[in-house]
Amino acid sequence: MKAASAQAERLAESKSQLAARNTTAAVQIDRITDRIETLGYGIEAGEATPEDEAERAALMISLKAWKAYKFALGKVTAQATWPTAPVWPAEPAIPEIEAAPMLVADEEI
Task: Provide the percentage of residues in the chain whose pLDDT is more than 70.
Answer: 91
Task: Provide the percentage of residues in the chain whose pLDDT is more than 90.
Answer: 83
Q: Cα–Cα distances in Å, from 47 out to 42, 52, 74? A: 5, 9, 39
Quick: pLDDT tens for 38-70: 999 999 999 999 999 999 999 999 999 999 999
> Which pLDDT score is estimated for 43?
96
Kindly tell me if the per-residue pLDDT of 96 is higher than 70. yes
What mean pLDDT is predicted for residues 78-102?
90
**36 neighbors 56 (Cβ within 8 angstroms):** yes
What mean pLDDT is predicted for residues 13-34?
98
Give the predicted TM-score (pTM) of the model.
0.85
